[in-house]
Structure 1
Amino acid sequence: MKTIKKINKYLVEHYPLIWNTRLVWMLALAVILHLGFFIAGFLSINSQENVAAHYTLSGFYYDSPALLIGSLISIVSLLLWIIYYLKNNAFKSLYPFKKGKLFLQFCITFVILFTNITHYYSYKKGVVTKIKKLYDWNEIDTDIKKFNNAAIFFLKNRTNYDIEEKQYPHPFPLESVSTDSKRFLGVRIDTTKPYLKYNDKYYQFYKLDKDLIAKDIENNAHAFDDVYNKKEYAVDRNPFRYRNVYDVTPFKNLFVPNLYNYSQEFIDYGQTNTDSKKRVKDYYNLLSKKDSNSIENELKKFFVLAEKYNVKHNLNIKDWLYLINLENDYKYIINIKDRKPDEYQEEKFRYSYFKLKTRIDTIAIPINISKKEQLYYDRFQKTEDRKSILKETEYEEYFKEVPYCDFGNLKTFFKNVHSSYNTKFDVDSLYVFIVMSILVALLLFTFKTTSIRNILLSAVAACVVMIFGILIIYILDKYLRVDKTIGILAALLINISLVVLSIIGLTRKWKKGFVSILFTLAQFAIPLIVLFSILYYKQILSYPQRNKDPYVLWFDEYGFWFTIVVWILGIFLYSKSIRNWRAWTE
């Protein structure tokens, strides 16, 4: 306690601004809290189940008690700090306060607020550090590739095995168009080029000529809407102009869902386009072998992975190979369930899972049969005594259990591990924390320089201005039917007026309280001027130009920081004039 008093005494004598803002102690508290949240995040991860508990790394903080605890700690610590901070005021207390220190006080306030509300980053860093300590990415990446190699046999979704999903060999992948009516031949399908009929439906497969599309867009830019840039329609709306049609008759047997069509990536985290292309080729080569032993080896690899990553299933090699349907050229039979069925579902589904078997029945030939009946029995092989026939009968052998494979949160686990090794800074949350810190710092700064009465009057004035602005926009839209651009312009002009009136009021020395209200409103209007300006600029541009204009593109990239710089500059200019304003008589 004596040490604290000594430090405070030294600060008040040599650095009164730092003493008054409690900068040293609040930064020390912030460091302790950040360290505590880092440790908490680190200790929150102990197993695969923990890693997969939240869909994103941010969720470990925002979707857990850490958010509530962090918020309460920030509120309590900052409220206590504000109580002590507001006890002394440079305009009311007799401690040194040099020129330029007022803006510095605002900056210190911002730093204290920002460092004491950003525990999220430390907690997330703790989570990421622990995940990287528990799991090696090279090993995880190898296992992801093994999962992807086996994914073709998971049989999770019939549509993934349609021919539209096929990526290999050439000429696939292709786009397709179909119709079940002859009336639309020549409208939807170019009958001058190869097309085929399958199950009373007409199909045509093609690729879009992207070079021709780009050329037409360049030559007829005024006639194209951005919506159509990647589609096949041009100015003349000719649906066939950009199609390079292919004859897929050799693949007609794949129109029924088939494993040859599968190209989906089961887990894509960390996987490159090269990995995907190689995997699809490997699928094709593996199936083309028509070797049950090779397929069985892939299934065995999956069982090892399933045990390693706690994948729940009841699959067995024998039933699984039957569902893969090698004997019928991999024609898709039925889905493997995503989760274990309950007793009711088990009874409901089990009749859909069976193997078609054949057996040889011995049937005695009746005595005194007619010639017609004799002809029937002569069709079958007879026993040695010629008194019975051997008849092959087909029957259904039901699976003992409905097959299922429940991956649970496995994809989320791999996603979070990949994100830990490829962390991207959460810029959106940073923007929120910066704006929150500036707003609160500005409120405290305003209270320090004026009074609670003026702040409350400013709040009332802000509400009046908002009501006035909303009414103007409503009238323009409801009764005058003007474009919404005028509403944005009206909001922009209102905010500009607040800033201009505050400057005029300061130079003309209007009533002190009124100028205080104007300046308070102006400080919050500055960032709105920037935002409404860019919105208005976007509205006066044509739709295609909005995504190409250099100023719009620049603002999309740097607009937030530009707005913050302008806002801080406005606060700085206000702080320079506040000392003269304070000297005015009431």
Structure 2
Amino acid sequence: MQKLNKFNQFLLEKYPTIWNTKIVWMLLAAFVFHIIFFIIGYLSHIDPVSLQKYSVKDDYFKNGVIFIHLIISILLIVGWLLMMLKNNAFKNFYPTSKGKLFGQFVQYFIIIFSCTTFYFSYMTGFRMFINNKYPDHEMAKNIDIINRTAPFLSQNIESYTLENRLFPKPFYDLYCETDIAEIDQNKKFFVYYNRVYQYNSLYAKKSYQKDKRGNFIPPNPEYSQKIKPAYTTEEEKYETFYYKKDVVDLSSYIKTTEPSFYNFSEVFYDYDFKGYDDGVGAVESHNYYDKDSPDYILKNKKAIINQKTAELLNSKNQAELEKLFEDFLSISKTYRVKNNLDAKKWVSMIYSKDNPNFEIRYFIKDYAGKTRTDEDAYYEETVAVDSAVASSDYGNANYTRDSIKIREFNPEINQQIAPDKYAKNNMTEYYYLSDSMKDLLKSVDSVKKEDFFSDNIHIYLWVAFFLSTFIFSFRITGLRSLLFSVISAGVLTLTITLITVFYGMTFRGEEKYFVSYFILFIGLIILLIPLLKMNMLNKMVSSIFVNISMNGFVLFVLLIFAIIRIHQNAACQTMNAYTDSYPYKNCSDIFEDLGFMLSYIILITGFVFMYFYTTILQKWKAMPE
């Protein structure tokens, strides 16, 4: 205790501003709680099941930790204010320089920031645990095993139909046409129930010309002859149009048109954290390779999966397949993914003497128990209803036409089982919660790679800045002046709102210009009065202008940027109207150009303003009471 008193005495004598703000003790207290939150973050997801959910990085806000955070932050700040407000050098006319005043404000900011940013310590602990528990080299090895095993889960019949096949190479290079209306009946095609497949070679043409709406114009003579492209790929300066050329007969490769393991080519999960397949680990909205919008990076990855699956099937090495399944189930056990699979029985369901083409003869449930949960059942019912509505919207004439036309390709369709019924009839009692595995892998990657600091730091910076300016205003002008300032700001806001409403009802149109410049004019008056006319005003009245200026200057700067943005958008709209383009096409503004940098620019401007404004505060304090 004596050492603490000596240290306090040392600070009082040598560094009175630091002693007055209690920053040393507050930073020590904040450091202790940061350590505690780091430990909480490290221990929060020891159980792998806790990672089997969407957006696990938001658990801080969902599991109640944020409320503990808020309580501790409030207690620390209130306790700090009680200690600090016992002594106010400026209020008691002690000698105070401009630098000391600004130094106090900066210390307020540091104290509040350190007492409100426990989230970052929590996430740092969380990330350290994930990096230690799920190292990259181990995850890469496990994800490879998972991706090579996923083709044998057979949970969705649509993943095993013929249009998915990408190996051998002819399947990769050719375009698979599945639209009945586009099939050439005079050339080789393949049929499965109501699905028709025809493989075509392609030729490509690039277009660099755009129409008035900014869309690339298809090349000629195809455009003039109304030949539809199979698909297109758009770059920044051009768009490539792919057109069907010749039909290619792949009968030598296609032994069956039934759903088969040979056709599976989906990537269960990509370690590079790209948005593939079911959107698992998705950063972007585009999902899997589609003939109308191909992603060749993903297509290559899918082709590799397809090749590895085919080679494993062709080897007919049941021991190798069983070892793969055992490794997969061992990983699932480590990650606590629910399933009731057995490696040997699983292999026996795949290899059968009467099934040389490895057609899908069984299906594994993606849910535990006899039926799905209420949520899953609701989802399936919703999808079924939406599909029915879509079919109805498609038009009875088209629906009837295609129903008749499919019989031309498959006369025996009435004697065959529909794919969905076939899957239901061959569903086993085995289950594997693949979504849980995907969620876990996504959670691990998101915690490792997502920038939680940059996305959230602005909130805490601005909370600390505004609280600092508010407390600084209280320390300088006192409670009475601050209360009058708050009331005056409220009345001013209400007055501006009423004038704006009246303007909108009277003149109608361009209210944003009137509001922006009216607030800018009022703001300039509030800022200039303490600079030019302070001695002509009562000290209480001038304190109102001082307080509003300190607390509202950053908002004034933001208003200036907003006015610039309004004029940029107006100029862009005028230009697009002149060129007969869309109103906001290619319209960038200062907010989009600067992004998060705008927040830092305004924050720095706020600190610079506070530094120079301390001179005004000294002049205000020197005024007679």
Q: 1:104, CA displacement in angstroms?
A: 1.7
The 1-side partners of 2:304 and 2:176 are apart by 24
Contact 1:21 1:85 in 2 (8 A): yes
Structure 1 residues 23, 447: CA separation in 2 closer, same or farther (over 3 Å shift)?
same
Structure 1 residues 160, 106: CA separation in 2 closer, same or farther (over 3 Å shift)?
farther
**Within 5 A, what are the aligned runs for 1:111-260?**
111-163=110-162, 165-168=164-167, 169-170=169-170, 172=172, 189=182, 212-213=206-207, 215-217=208-210, 220=211, 222-224=212-214, 240=228, 242-245=241-244, 247=247, 250=250, 257-260=259-262
The 2-side partners of 1:431 and 1:146 are apart by 41
**Paired position in structure 2 for 1:392:** none
Q: 1:579, CA displacement in angstroms?
A: 1.4
Corresponding position: 1:489 with 2:482: no
**Paired position in structure 1 for 2:279:** none
3-state SS of 1:216 partner: coil
**Paired position in structure 1 for 2:620:** 581
* More displaced stretch, 64-73 vs 13-22: 64-73
Structure 1 residues 134, 344: CA separation in 2 closer, same or farther (over 3 Å shift)?
closer
3-state SS of 2:595 partner: helix
**Within 5 A, what are the aligned runs for 1:46-61?**
46-50=46-50, 52=51, 55-56=54-55, 58-61=57-60
What TM-score results when the alignment is normalised by the length of structure 2? 0.70
What TM-score results when the alignment is normalised by the length of structure 1? 0.74
**Paired position in structure 2 for 1:305:** 331
Which amino acid letter does the alignment assign opposite residue 223 of structure 1?
Answer: R
**Within 5 A, what are the aligned runs for 1:402-413?**
402-407=429-434, 409-413=436-440
Q: 1:445, CA displacement in angstroms?
A: 1.4
**Paired position in structure 2 for 1:435:** 462
Which amino acid letter does the alignment assign opposite residue 243 of structure 1?
Answer: Y
Structure 1 residues 58, 420: CA separation in 2 closer, same or farther (over 3 Å shift)?
closer
The 1-side partners of 2:200 and 2:495 are apart by 58
**Paired position in structure 2 for 1:18:** 18
The 2-side partners of 1:446 and 1:229 are apart by 62
3-state SS of 1:311 partner: coil
Q: 1:37, CA displacement in angstroms?
A: 2.0
Contact 2:489 2:548 in 1 (8 A): yes
Q: 1:279, CA displacement in angstroms?
A: 2.8
The 1-side partners of 2:16 and 2:463 are apart by 26
Which amino acid letter does the alignment assign opposite residue 329 of structure 1?
Answer: N
The 1-side partners of 2:111 and 2:546 are apart by 24
Contact 1:473 1:487 in 2 (8 A): yes
**Paired position in structure 2 for 1:567:** 606
Which is bigger in relative contact order (C-alpha 8 A, separation at least 6)?
2
Structure 1 residues 571, 332: CA separation in 2 closer, same or farther (over 3 Å shift)?
farther
3-state SS of 1:327 partner: coil
**Paired position in structure 1 for 2:522:** 498
The 2-side partners of 1:109 and 1:283 are apart by 62
Q: CA RMSD in A?
A: 4.3
1:483-523 CA distance string (max 9 Å, x none): xxx34434432442233112331213353444433443344
Which amino acid letter does the alignment assign opposite residue 404 of structure 1?
Answer: Y
Contact 2:364 2:427 in 1 (8 A): no
**Within 5 A, what are the aligned runs for 1:438-453?**
438-453=465-480
Q: 1:72, CA displacement in angstroms?
A: 1.1
Which of the numbers 275, 278, 281 marks the counterpart of 2:304?
Answer: 278
Q: 1:229, CA displacement in angstroms?
A: 11
The 2-side partners of 1:174 and 1:548 are apart by 39
Which amino acid letter does the alignment assign opposite residue 83 of structure 2?
Answer: Y
The 1-side partners of 2:74 and 2:465 are apart by 16
Q: 1:66, CA displacement in angstroms?
A: 3.0
The 2-side partners of 1:262 and 1:244 are apart by 26
Structure 1 residues 15, 202: CA separation in 2 closer, same or farther (over 3 Å shift)?
same
**Paired position in structure 2 for 1:327:** 355
**Paired position in structure 1 for 2:91:** 92
1:35-90 CA distance string (max 9 Å, x none): 2222333344544345x266456335333343222221111011011122233333
The 2-side partners of 1:211 and 1:532 are apart by 44
Q: Where does the alignment leave 5 or more consecutive residues of structure 2 unmatched?
A: 230-240, 275-296, 378-424, 574-581
Which amino acid letter does the alignment assign opposite residue 212 of structure 1?
Answer: K
3-state SS of 1:250 partner: coil
Which amino acid letter does the alignment assign opposite residue 493 of structure 1?
Answer: Y
Contact 2:113 2:461 in 1 (8 A): yes
**Paired position in structure 2 for 1:378:** none
Q: 1:145, CA displacement in angstroms?
A: 0.7
**Paired position in structure 2 for 1:357:** none
The 1-side partners of 2:605 and 2:314 are apart by 65
The 1-side partners of 2:95 and 2:615 are apart by 17
3-state SS of 2:98 partner: coil
Which amino acid letter does the alignment assign opposite residue 303 of structure 1?
Answer: L
**Paired position in structure 2 for 1:528:** 558
Which amino acid letter does the alignment assign opposite residue 437 of structure 1?
Answer: A
Which amino acid letter does the alignment assign opposite residue 22 of structure 2?
Answer: R
3-state SS of 2:365 partner: coil
The 1-side partners of 2:100 and 2:113 are apart by 20
3-state SS of 1:243 partner: strand
Q: 1:469, CA displacement in angstroms?
A: 4.7
Which amino acid letter does the alignment assign opposite residue 337 of structure 1?
Answer: K
Which amino acid letter does the alignment assign opposite residue 528 of structure 1?
Answer: L
Contact 1:100 1:576 in 2 (8 A): no
3-state SS of 2:97 partner: coil
**Paired position in structure 2 for 1:539:** 569
The 1-side partners of 2:124 and 2:513 are apart by 44
Which of the numbers 253, 269, 281 marks the counterpart of 2:271?
Answer: 269
The 2-side partners of 1:516 and 1:501 are apart by 14
Which amino acid letter does the alignment assign opposite residue 23 of structure 2?
Answer: L
Which amino acid letter does the alignment assign opposite residue 449 of structure 1?
Answer: I
3-state SS of 1:240 partner: coil
> % of aligned pairs identical?
23
The 1-side partners of 2:262 and 2:502 are apart by 63
The 1-side partners of 2:493 and 2:177 are apart by 53
Q: 1:117, CA displacement in angstroms?
A: 0.9
Q: 1:99, CA displacement in angstroms?
A: 2.1
Which amino acid letter does the alignment assign opposite residue 268 of structure 1?
Answer: D
Structure 1 residues 293, 23: CA separation in 2 closer, same or farther (over 3 Å shift)?
closer
Which amino acid letter does the alignment assign opposite residue 114 of structure 1?
Answer: F
Which amino acid letter does the alignment assign opposite residue 26 of structure 2?
Answer: M
Corresponding position: 1:457 with 2:484: yes
- The structure whose Rg is larger is 1
Contact 1:190 1:240 in 2 (8 A): no
